[in-house]
Amino acid sequence: MSVKQISVAQDVHFAIEAHYRTEVRLWQTGQYREWLKEMVAEDIHYWMPIYEQRFIRDRRPDPTPHDAAIYNDDYGELKQRVERLYSGTVWMEDPPSKIRYMVSNVEAFDAGDGEFDVYSNVVVYRNRRQLEMTVHTLGREDKLRRVGDDFQVFRRKLNIDARVTQDKNLYFFC
């Protein structure tokens, strides 16, 4: 990204950070249907590509949505993931695990037409059962759209830092 992009005004920046805080609260309290309905646009592309560890001299291009990805979801696919959690038969989540998010380094830029490019860092802590604790760090690249007095995300790219996931799965929203 360019450093010459137009930063948003302070009130918009505050509103975007507040939006992210609400998003985290919905996830931490298991309100996934509400999150999807209110905060995700129906034209969402929700994407977590796989980055190999390659030599700096390696000229192969970065991954595209046509390549292998951990998430590569449209709205219907995200909805399927959400609904699975309400099925009452996800034994791994019963008793439920705990998840805690830290979102920081929010940088927001005005992309025109009521759209915003927003970069942030996310730390995810998951606690399961008695002793299992895992940590994931991600860089997040969003495109948000102003909808009424709030925002909806319509592009989300999640850059997970670990090459080898040190967890059973990455089935959480972020």
Interface with other proteins (CB under 8 A): 48, 50, 52-55, 58, 66, 68-73, 77, 80-81, 83-85, 87-92, 128, 163-171
Q: Min. distance of Cβ 155 from other proteins in angstroms? A: 17
Residue number, 52 or 149, with CB nearest to other proteins: 52
Residue number, 17 or 167, with CB nearest to other proteins: 167
Q: Min. distance of Cβ 8 from other proteins in angstroms? A: 31
Residue number, 4 or 60, with CB nearest to other proteins: 60
Q: Min. distance of Cβ 80 from other proteins in angstroms? A: 5
> What dihedral angle (degrees, nearest 10) is formed by the CA atoms of 99, 147, 72, 134?
-10
Which residues make Cβ contacts (< 8 Å) with residue 172, sequence separation at least 6? 27, 99, 124, 126
Instruction: Tell me, letter by letter, the H, E, C secondary structure of 12-79.
Output: HHHHHHHHHHHHHHHHHCCCHHHHHHHHEEEEEEEEEECCCCCCCCCCCCCCCCCCCEEEEECHHHHH
Q: Min. distance of Cβ 133 from other proteins in angstroms? A: 12
